Amino acid sequence: MKTNTINKKEIEKFSRIAEEWWNPNGKFKPLHKFNPIRISYIKDNIINTFKIKNEKKPLEKVKILDIGCGGGLLSEPMNRLGAEIIGIDASEKNIEVAKLHAKKNNLDIKYLCTSPENFKTDIKFDVILNMEIVEHVKDIDSFLKSCCGLLKKRGIMFVATINKTLKSYLFAIIGAEYILQWLPIGTHDWEKFVKPNDLIKILKKYNLKIDNLDGMKFNLIKDQWSISSDNSINYIAKFIKN
């Protein structure tokens, strides 16, 4: 079994706090705050790209692969919007939590404990979500190559991650982990942050073309996230497969 992109230390780190996934005031509180803006960004971009006109179930019949799905924080809302979802994660504990929560809410989501390079499927997906995952993998190039192989032609890949800047070190690590204590210390490694241009270069090799690149910023006063032109810390990119 190939495990060239699985970073065991990262998997262990998230497995230890897996039971916290659905606690909006727990260790994943920042993701719960982050989620509304991620959901609307993904939904709107899918609707616009595929020219969907179904208002009740805007993502109906859209096949989505949620990579590094964790406890299912994105998989569930995507499924409620009508999407056919498969969530994969290299942590068994995360998958157990995700399965249990989906069952409790009568949601039809398939969850599997695997990584993109080990995921055996005949399906090519309309959409792949790589949200806050590329900064935790062992080999980003191999990881993204495997992801691209699972995407159909003209399909969309969303990548949300953290830019590699001095500002991101100060805000995403010193600020978020040490001062505000939004995240457990050691959640992020600045060396693994990815500059947008580096991400674009890697994905270009695998026939993915950048379509949108937006920053995401947090307003401390309003206590909420919004899309921004400033991508010096958090950013989200939309790629289309040629």
Q: What are the pLDDT digits (tens) for 144-154? A: 999 999 999 99
Percentage of the chain surpassing pLDDT 70?
Answer: 98
Q: Cα–Cα distance between 137 and 144 in angstroms, integer?
A: 10
Q: Cα–Cα distance between 79 and 162 in angstroms, integer?
A: 26
Kindly tell me if the per-residue pLDDT of 3 is higher than 60: no
Average pLDDT, the chain: 94
The SS3 call for residue 110 is: strand
CATH 3.40.50.11540 corresponds to the domain 8-241 = no
User: End-to-end CA distance of the chain, in Å?
Assistant: 30
Single pTM value for the model = 0.93
Q: Which residue has the higher pLDDT, 2 or 232?
A: 232
Of 110, 138, 144, nearest to 241 (Cα)? 144
Q: Cα–Cα distance between 194 and 188 in angstroms, integer?
A: 12
Buried b (16+ CB within 10 A) or exposed e, 118-139: bbeeeeebbbbbbbbbbbbbbe
**Extents of the domains making up the chain:** 8-241
pLDDT for the residue numbered 4: 66
Q: What pLDDT digit, counting tens, does each position of 125-139 carry?
A: 999 999 999 999 999
Q: What pLDDT digit, counting tens, does each position of 96-120 carry?
A: 999 999 999 999 999 999 999 999 9
- Angle of CA points 218, 224, 226, to nearest 5°: 65
